[in-house]
Structure 1
Amino acid sequence: MKRSFTLLALMASLGSGASLALATSPPPAPVITQNAAGAQQFTLSNGMTLIVQPDKRAPTAVHMVWVRVGSMDEVDGRSGLAHVLEHMMFKGTPTVPPGDFSRKVAALGGQENAFTNRDYTGYYQQIPAGKLEDVMRLESDRFAHNQWPDSEFKKEIEVIKEERRMRTDDNPRSSLMEQLNAATWQASPYHRPVVGWMGDLDSMQPDDARDFHKAWYVPENAAVVIAGDVDVEKVRQLAERYYGSIPKQALPERKPRPEPLQKGMRRVDFKAPAEQAYVLMSFKVPDLRNIVAPQASDKDAMALLMLSSVLSGYDGARLDRRLTQGPARVADAAFSGASVVARGPSTFMLGGVPSQGKTAKEVEDALRAEVARVAKEGVSEAELARVRTQWQASTVYERDSVFGQANDLGSNWVLGLPLDTNDRLLALLKTVTPAQVQDVAARYFGDDQMTVATLLPQPLTDADRAAQKRSAGQGKDGAVH
């Protein structure tokens, strides 16, 4: 599912079996923090997080449940489980038959969906504010009591395998990205695709999904996020009623899986039926972990964010001007991206599509030359000012959307960031200097931390063209129900 996380994106996805009696004196739920826009965060009696963002401008509400589990929490041989379970969460509970969840939400006048990526899984409903309690009852039921027969799994796994074919196997560029990730990461679980390897999907069993749900869908590992025309205290009471009564359960131990130091360039040549070549380069870079008291590595990550936006963050940015325009153009498209905020390790990516008569190697060299130019000549304060202005505008614009507000709050929670991350980040990015951007351009783009994947086009058949046309309409970022 394509997702927009404002600034975080640029660092680049009835009838509960639980007790329904409202406690006459619910246990105190301390406010952990409150941001400038009025969002409040609580801890329910069972350890589940509740985040509420009042917005009275329209009589609507967004209800989301975020679970801190994604493909990075899988093990080899069981890739794709987080996404498979996302699909199975629509297949019923003891009181809601398969398929009825979506029908009930639609009957309430709402829209709903779900999404999975490396770091998390999420579920949401956008409904009239007066129907909030109904969707809380529904969602808490399937969170705690997801249940379905083996026959439902066997049907749905075939749907997921077809989804993999359409989004990845029949899409050369998506396949190339999959190959790049597999080559970039050795120990990190990021080397596995979110949708899973086809062989793992072939061998997956119903109990694999049930066990995954039992292990990770526990109160301590989830957050309920609600934004819209709501009363905070009433929402807190409803959350205790429907979610707080779910029994506590210990989380599995998450063992660190640090990536070994890369000691030389890695290359992947990938052959697939395609019209054009394509090149992707991945460089290992520092993570942005602490925005409250940034350390040296955090400051480098922010400077890398700035570098990425200077290179391709707006129409007419450096890569656009120098690689895709004018008589010396080498690329039909060129881009950069700094993925520095995640539960796992971070990368800076460069990529491009050769123009007619040019090669992938020429595009690769031209992309690296632009980074080297920044390392040698630096960037101007005017370029950084333009980037800051755009980020400020995008943050303000996103807050006009109730869904955008809930989405930001949930993604911040999943990544262990404070509620006011966007405001803090904007303030910190204003402190990044041209000298810092020049410095990271000089230090993080050598051969040893670089992985290159190149699509080598093969002749296209009519069947290939038809398959790729079908694939073109599918989402590419993460996976979605």
Structure 2
Amino acid sequence: MPMRCTRLIPLLCLLVAPLAAHANPFEHKLANGLNVIVKEDRRAPTAVHMVWYRVGSIDEKNGLTGVAHLLEHMMFKGTPNVGPGEFNRRVAAAGGRDNAFTNRDYTAYFQQTPKAQLEEMMRLEADRMRHLTLDPKEFAQEIKVVMEERRMRTDDQPPALLYEQMNAVAFQASPYRAPVIGWMNDLENMSVEDARDWYDRWYVPNNAYVVVVGDVDHDEVFRLAEQYYGPLEPRALPLRKPQEEPKQLGIRRLTVKAPAELPVLLMAYKAPVIRDVERDVDPYALEMLGAILDGHDAARFPQRLVKELRVAVNAGSGYDSTARGPSLFFLQGSPSEGRTVAELEAAFRAEIARIQKDGVGADELARARAQLVAAEIYKLDSMFAQAMEIGQLEAVGIPYRANERLIEKLQAVSAADVQAAARKYLDDDSLTVAVLDPQPLPKTPRPRSGAVPRH
């Protein structure tokens, strides 16, 4: 479901990374512009190898939505040296696992294998960085897989459909208004030439960086990077023009009708993201506000709206302070039986008004901070999580070496900061309200096309 709480991912993840591995990363930039970041972690004889491309759905144009994600699928369809599907087979044969993911802001590919197989992983990734085949027949098959993925994960999932429609209304100029997977009509009209053009424009070493975390020696990794990635030629990148979202001038509302058991309410306020690690205050305060509202079982929403007032069967919040584009601060929930969406909206508003008027207590703030750290610490004690931390920060323009400062800024958030942020950003003029109006469930499920999404 798209509305899972993202409050402190990746930001609060940074709180515990130093506990997982104390080594500082090493960095080396190749002559072709590819940056290689290595973090040595000797706790297990494995290595995580990730290639991040600074391109995502934010870089798409109208009529071509979904092409970034489609190209991610096509990256597994072979090169002159590696046949279709062989990439995955070689990783599995090496005793590893691999996958990829496309985001609004980036596209990334990873393998986690025994450390002795790192060289093979680098050779495979370097090969497909510039030598992808893009066969029309493979494309024709894979576009059907992507369309079925859209049906399964969005069209047939009412909360996901609501989230998608809400973004389309909340954002007007920002490319964030379009779904990462793309609009169905764009997918239906996409061609292999569209994928090839995307690949040629963006999949170049000077638009990528490699992150390696594990039981490795950084000098050896740099040597391998020079050997396999070094020969790839850079290319001039397309000019990225700013697409700033205009100021919202009043509340926006929408209703989505879809088969579902329960209504869902989404309230999304325009919110800032971190642009200056040192000078920004509000994004850190909004992170903490989200934790106070929905960071643990005793937080305000589950305690007040679910347990005490019983106006909701579930109630939560979500916010991501790190992104290339604008962000939203979400409130989300479903009303209890016998209660209405209007009553739930009123309850959400009342809780926000209480914070705007009375603020939050010091004990409440401390408890939220402690709960957030406890919830994330074990998730991040892994090589993969460390690689994700580095990659995600770099993707949105925050140097990964700023992670300790981000932690300090978050820990310095005061109750006054939280109250001020709530007053400044949780305002009707920047609010979009989306309601899922549940329709009768179908008696028989939609037949599947037979195309199974790869991931």
| TM above 0.5 | yes
Partners of 2:296 and 2:28 lie apart in 1 by: 38
The TM-score normalised by the length of structure 2 is 0.93
Q: Shift of the alpha carbon at 1:178? A: 0.3
Contact 1:55 1:228 in 2 (8 A): yes
Does the 8 Å contact 1:77/1:200 carry over to 2? yes
Q: Is the contact between residue 365 and residue 415 of structure 2 (CA under 8 Å) also seen in structure 1? A: yes
Partner of 2:408: 427
Q: Which amino acid aligns with 2:324?
A: R
Alignment of 1:205-216 (within 5 A): 205-216=191-202
Q: Distance in 2 between matches of 1:62 and 1:378?
A: 44
What's 1:42 paired with? Answer: 28
Q: Does 1:362 align with 2:322?
A: no
Q: Which residue is 1:353 aligned to?
A: 334
Matched, 1:325 2:307: yes
Q: In terms of mean alpha carbon deviation, does 420-429 or 224-233 score higher?
A: 420-429
Change (3 A) 1:4 1:322: closer
Contact 2:7 2:318 in 1 (8 A): no
Determine the C-alpha separation between the residues in 2 that align with 1:275 and 1:50.
49
Identity %: 52
Cα separation, 2, equivalents of 1:9 and 1:425? 11
Kindly indicate whether residue 395 of structure 2 is the aligned counterpart of residue 414 of structure 1: yes
State whether structure 2 residue 86 is matched by structure 1 residue 100: yes
Match of 2:255 among 224, 245, 269: 269
Inter-partner Cα distance in structure 2 for 1:347 and 1:339: 8
SS in structure 2 opposite 1:142?
helix
Shift of 1:398: 4.2
Distance 1:180 1:99, change over 3 A: same
How far apart, CA to CA, are the structure 2 residues paired with 1:341 and 1:331?
A: 29
Report the equivalent of 2:135.
149
User: Does 1:236 find its partner at 2:222?
Assistant: yes
Tell me the C-alpha RMSD between the 2 structures. Answer: 2.1
For the structure 1 residues 10 and 418, does the alpha-carbon distance in structure 2 shift closer, same or farther, using more than 3 Å as the test? closer
Matches within 5 A, 1:16-165: 37-165=23-151
Q: Mark the CA change 1:380 to 1:259 in structure 2 (over 3 Å): closer, same or farther.
A: same
Secondary structure of residue in 2 paired with 1:271: strand
Shift of residue 143 of structure 1?
A: 1.1
3-state SS in 1 of match to 2:429 = coil
SS at match of 2:368: helix
Do the aligned residues in 2 keep the contact of 1:398 with 1:405 (CA within 8 Å)?
Answer: no
Matched, 1:8 2:16: no
2 CA distance for matches of 1:142 and 1:88?
Answer: 10
TM norm structure 1 = 0.88
Write the deviation string for residues 326-376 of structure 1: whole angstroms up to 9, x where unpaired.
3x2110110111222100011111111111011111111111211111011
1:133-170 Cα deviation digits (max 9, x unpaired): 00100011011111131000000000000000000000
Equivalent position amino acid for 2:328 in 1: T
What secondary structure, in the 3-state scheme, does the structure 2 residue paired with 1:333 have? strand
Segment drifting more, 3-12 vs 340-349: 3-12
The answer (yes or no) to whether the contact 2:6–2:320 under 8 Å persists in 1 is no
Q: Hey, what does 1:343 align to over in structure 2?
A: 324
Structure 2 equivalent of residue 20 of structure 1: none
Q: Please give the alpha-carbon distance, in whole angstroms, between the structure 1 residues aligned to 2:301 and 2:446.
A: 31
- 8 Å Cα contact 1:48-1:222 kept in structure 2: yes
Contact 1:186 1:259 in 2 (8 A): yes
Counterparts of 1:145 and 1:6 in 2: how far apart (Å)?
38
Q: Deviations over 1:197-253 (max 9, x none)?
A: 000000000010010011011112111000000000000010111112110111110
Residues 178, 480 of structure 1: alpha-carbon distance in 2 compared, 3 angstrom cutoff: farther
Letter in 1 for 2:347: A
Structure 2 stretches lacking a partner, 5+ long:
14-20
Q: How many angstroms apart in 2 are the aligned matches of 1:176 and 1:446?
A: 21
Alpha carbons 1:172, 1:455 under 8 Å: kept: yes
Aligned CA distance change for structure 1 residues 330 and 396 (closer, same or farther; 3 Å): closer
Contact 1:47–1:219 under 8 Å retained in 2? yes
CA contact (8 A) 2:73 2:142 kept: yes
1:389-404 → structure 2 map (5 Å cutoff): 389-393=370-374, 396-404=377-385
Q: How far apart are 1:446 and its partner, in Å?
A: 1.6
**Are 1:311 and 2:293 an aligned pair?**
yes
Number of matched residues?
Answer: 444
Q: Distance in 1 between matches of 2:138 and 2:337?
A: 49
The within-5 A match list for 1:222-301 is 222-291=208-277, 293-294=278-279, 298-301=280-283
Residue 391 of structure 1 deviates from its aligned partner by 3.8
Q: How do 1:178-197 and structure 2 match up within 5 A?
A: 178-197=164-183
Q: CA deviation at 1:40?
A: 1.5
| Matched-pair contact (CA < 8 Å) for 2:302–2:314 | yes
State how far apart, in whole Å, the 2-side matches of 1:331 and 1:10 are: 29
